[in-house]
Amino acid sequence: MLNLQALVDKPTLVGERVRLVPLDASHAPAMFAGVNDPEVRRFTGTHRVFTFEDVEKYSASRPEQTDRVDLAVLRAEDGKVLGDIVLNDLDAANEKMGFRIALIAEQGKGYGTEATRLLLRYAFDVIGLHRVELEVFDFNPRAIASYRKCGFVEEGRLREALLWEGRWHDALLMGVLRTDNI
């Protein structure tokens, strides 16, 4: 049985190098700086350019969401906002949720892998999910490697799912199960 209260009670999760805290309006300035970064937009497949008001409104609305978990990823040593990490698209009948992470700073240093492992433990051990799934674009080998380290397995491919700067790119479908040895 799922613990849906765990989606309402936004957790703070602490690792060795990162801290995951409930995303709110206080994170908007750092998130705004990142979401319009060309590399972050490319890796997330985001064509839209956001205003500060868009980011502030979105960040401020996260604590009231009861069917998802939106957390800011902070560097433990100094509290620097590194990005956000999310469990979304709840399918309670099938005990599964979607996953996404967007690092806006300090990519390639292992912070994303640690944050992903922390949130997966919460997903399986506290919420009680059976499955967590994601999509990642084929041109993001660093993210794919990180997801594999965390137990995600490639399960399929959406051919030519993203048109970026005139070129088509595939989206890889990946999933991890509570019963996987992660």
Q: Quote the percentage of the chain above a pLDDT of 70.
A: 99
Render pLDDT for 119-169 as a digit per residue (tens, 0 to 9): 999 999 999 999 999 999 999 999 999 999 999 999 999 999 999 999 999
CATH number, residue 15: 3.40.630.30
Query: What is the pTM (predicted TM-score) of this model?
Result: 0.93
Please report the pLDDT score of residue 107 as a whole number: 83
Residue 149 lies in a domain: no
CA dist 112 and 147 (Å) reads 9
Task: Kindly state whether residue 138 falls inside one of the protein's structural domains.
Answer: no
d(CA 101, CA 84): 6
Please give the residue range of the domain that contains residue 114.
5-130
Q: Report how far Cα 20 is from the mean position of its chain's Cα atoms.
A: 11
| Rounded distance between C-alpha atoms, residue 85 and residue 103, angstroms | 8
Within a domain: 141: no
Decide if 9 is inside a domain.
Answer: yes
CA distance 17 to 42: 26
Mean per-residue pLDDT, 44-55:
92
**Domains in the chain, number:** 1
Tokens of residue 39, six digits: 């590399």
Task: Please tell me the predicted confidence (pLDDT) of residue 36.
Answer: 86
Determine the Cα–Cα distance for residues 157 and 129; give it in Å rounded to an integer. 23
How far is residue 128's CA from residue 121's CA, in Å, rounded to a whole number? 10
Which residue from 129, 77, 82, 78 is spatially nearest to 109, judged by alpha carbons? 82
- In the chain, % helix, strand, coil (3-state, to 5) comes to 35, 35, 30
